[in-house]
Structure 1
Amino acid sequence: MLATPSGIPACPDTDRLRRLADQLTGMIPGASTIRVSLTSPQHAWPHPHAIVKDAAGRTMEVSRTTARIAARWILRVWPESDWTHPHTLDLADAVLTRSDRVPAADRGR
């Protein structure tokens, strides 16, 4: 991506993140969040894995192919993230957060 003289990218990545969230929403209607990790329960080695949830927080059934495609797309858009830990993409905000951290208020419950 080209940069302006100030060093700021000429085209902000926010458009790219929003497009990905829109594509995933179109591919998985009703999805609210997608949790991505490289720890698939079916494999002993690192493997893209996604869990899709609706707005109520219920896990949605998606095909293995759809889950794998969604996970790979998210991994490619955020390559700088520490993928040794799971992350959750909020499709409404197009924001990726590390999802293995538990807020202090929720510990011990």
Structure 2
Amino acid sequence: MPASRSGRALAAQPAKAVAPTDAIRQHRLAALLADMVPGARIIRVSQHQPSQTWPSPYTRAYDERGQPIRLNRTQCVAAARWVIRAFSEANWDEAHDLDLTSGTLQSAAGACAPSDGGR
């Protein structure tokens, strides 16, 4: 350790912890999910898996054209849990979409329109 003018060693000072804001956390989460699911643009999260009648974290991923991306069970459950914990204030009785480019979460109710401009 470097010595001070008095000849005694300087004591280590604790580093100042900077608390990340919610926006920083949400962008970090979006970046992690984009790494976990390559090619994904939207992650849709709900607490109701279509094949079950009881609540269960569930995720679907979509690319930039709105085409579904296949997820394995681990990706599906882990992504859903991460998003639900990061956005705990959201009403999880309905599905929500996380945009991986901006890190914003919105209700999936209005996002169900066909992407091809048809009916």
- Consecutive unaligned residues of structure 2, counting only runs of 5 or more, are 1-18, 113-118
SS of the aligned residue for 1:52 comes to: strand
SS of the aligned residue for 1:34 comes to: strand
**RMSD across aligned C-alpha pairs, in angstroms?**
1.6
> Is residue 27 of structure 1 aligned with residue 31 of structure 2?
no
What is the match of residue 90 of structure 2? 81
- Consecutive unaligned residues of structure 1, counting only runs of 5 or more, are 1-9, 104-108
SS of the aligned residue for 1:80 comes to: coil
SS of the aligned residue for 2:69 comes to: coil
What is the match of residue 72 of structure 1? 81
- The 1:45/1:17 distance shift into structure 2, 3 A limit, reads same
Q: Normalising by structure 1, what TM-score?
A: 0.81
Measured against aligned partners, the alpha-carbon deviations of 1:11-59 in whole angstroms (never above 9, x if no partner) come to 4211100000000011111010000111101211011111100111100
SS of the aligned residue for 2:109 comes to: coil
Task: Give 2:105's match in structure 1, choosing from 82, 87, 96.
Answer: 96
Q: How many residues are treated as equivalent by the alignment?
A: 95
What is the match of residue 14 of structure 1? 23
What is the match of residue 60 of structure 2? 51
How far apart are 1:102 and its partner, in Å? 6.0
- The 1:46/1:13 distance shift into structure 2, 3 A limit, reads same
The CA distance in 2 between the partners of 1:38 and 1:90, in whole Å, is 18
* Larger Rg computed on CA atoms: 2
